[in-house]
Chain A
Amino acid sequence: GNSVTQMEGPVTLSEEAFLTINCTYTATGYPSLFWYVQYPGEGLQLLLKATKADDKGSNKGFEATYRKETTSFHLEKGSVQVSDSAVYFCALTTTGNQFYFGTGTSLTVIP
């Protein structure tokens, strides 16, 4: 079946620290991979995506590389800001564009 496993939270970092949120997946076929972000009181927004192996998605200083050999799509940012405080969801889609989401990782960045 299809599933996504995310690093457990919550994660608390100081401003300008390096961020990694781990995501691994199980999928039939060739999935596309996504990271969505949810700010307090808002809906989910696309952060970045990759549609094939070795692709790197990037946006707002965040990056993630689609690693087929390790079935992973880890999210990284070199220097986090207070405004990055949110919940981050890893997701995959397969045939029919059916999305499967991880449980989310809450990030708090302190000044």
Chain B
Amino acid sequence: EAGVAQSPRYKIIEKRQSVAFWCNPISGHATLYWYQQILGQGPKLLIQFQNNGVVDDSQLPKDRFSAERLKGVDSTLKIQPAKLEDSAVYLCASSLSSISGNTIYFGEGSWLTVV
């Protein structure tokens, strides 16, 4: 079974530029998550989708971050304009459903460096 796919793996941009990350979840997984992981910290939830609807985006900095999951499958996370503090690994994850206790499966992450 194919895992969660993410691209690009690495990106370096200048501050105030924009960047987009793409995620393809495990086939059949209705719930998709985007996490931000800053070096030395645990993952922080940015947004959670159930199919193509948003379940939780309370920690998404909506002035610069946006995410969509059209057709309930692939998802894109965009940052515009980027700040230095956005340097982090952006992890996409998916689970079969949003029933508590469902294991979430992570992709390898997209490493962003803002200079």
Contacts and interface: CB of A to CB of B under 8 A. Distances in A.
A98 B55 CA distance: 9
Contacts, number: 63
B97 A97 contact: yes
Interface stretch (B12-20, B68-76, B80-88, B100-108): B100-108
Contact of B107 (A4, A43, A101, A102): A43
Contacts of B31: 97
Interface size class of B (residues with CB under 8 A): 20 to 34
Contact of A98 (B56, B97, B109): B56
A99 B43 CA distance: 9
Interface residues of A, number: 25
A12 to B, nearest CB: 17
A95 B99 CA distance: 7
A43 B100 contact: no
B33 interface: yes
Interface string B47-58: 010000001100
Q: Which 9 A-B pairs have the closest CB atoms?
A: A101-B42, A32-B101, A43-B106, A51-B101, A44-B106, A97-B98, A43-B108, A103-B42, A101-B43
